[in-house]
Every structure is written in C-alpha cells, then in structure tokens.
Amino acid sequence: MSNDELICQEFARIIGGQEGFAGGKCVATINRNEVQAIILGKPFRVTSSFSFESRDNLTGRALCLGRVALLQREVDIFVASILKQGIKVSSIHNEWFFDTPNLIYVNIEAVDNPLDFARKVRRALKS
C-alpha cells in the first residue's frame, strides 16, 4: 500500500466517510441518511464528497476539494466556518429544480496537507 493510500484511509476516517483511492486520487464520501430528499417524486440519496490529489512528497500539500450537500439553514454556518479556517468557497448553488427539501451544494478548495484539510472540514461539518 502506498503512502498516499494510507493517508487516504486516515483522510476518510477523519472526515467520517467511505474511502476510495484510484489513479492517485483519494475520495471520501459521506452519506446524509438523515436527510430524506425527494427529486421528481423519487427518493434521492444525499451525499457529500471530499478529495485530494497531486500531493507533493516534499511539502505534503495537495489539491484538496469538497462538494458539500447542505440544507438551506446549514449553509451560512458551514461557509463561515470553512472561510475562517482558510479554505476557499468556489461556488454555492442548487443542482435540482424539483427537490424537497431544497439542497444547496457548496464547493470548497485548498492546497493543504490532506489530513489538516480533513480536520478543518470535520470541524465545519460539526458547527
């Protein structure tokens, strides 16, 4: 197992998600089972995903990204926490026209140590 794969396992554990590693990219996915979403009358599984790739072996820093599914009432607190921790918010948008409840997606990005990024994300998700 490579060093990046070991880091990926810890990354997913910190975030609290399911880990996947392929092609040099680590992805951790969180299922939001507590959110019972419906799109066009059909049940929809709400997930958030976080990743890192292109990790520099000298600095340990990597491109760290996230796509976070939130309820409208969760957006302000999450975004404030993320920004306070130095992570950029690259977009805030909805993806679906006919969803109940209305889901808002926040995309985040940073060049950071993946485990530090994971800790920051975890703090923001708990706020």
Q: Which residues pair with 103 in a beta bridge?
A: 71
Q: Please, what is the Cα angle at 116 between 25 and 127, to 5 degrees?
A: 110
Q: Determine how β-strand 18-22 pairs with β-strand 47-53.
A: unpaired
CA distance 39 to 76: 24
Q: What is the pLDDT of residues 16-29, one digit of tens each?
A: 999 999 888 999 99
Q: Is the pLDDT score of 1 beyond 90?
A: no
Q: What percent of the chain has pLDDT over 70?
A: 99
CA distance 49 to 27: 7
Residue 117 Rama label (left phi>0; alpha psi -120 to 50; beta): alpha
The pLDDT of residue 24 is: 87
In which residue are the tokens 């009358």 written? Answer: 41
CA distance 13 to 24: 18
Q: What is the pLDDT of residues 82-115, one digit of tens each?
A: 999 999 999 999 999 999 999 999 999 999 999 9
- Report the predicted TM-score, pTM, of the whole model to 2 decimal places: 0.94
Burial category of 48 from C-beta neighbours within 10 Å (exposed 0-12, middle 13-18, buried 19 and up): buried
Q: How many domains does the chain have?
A: 1
Structural domain of residue 95, as residue ranges? 3-126
Single-letter amino acid, residue 18? Q
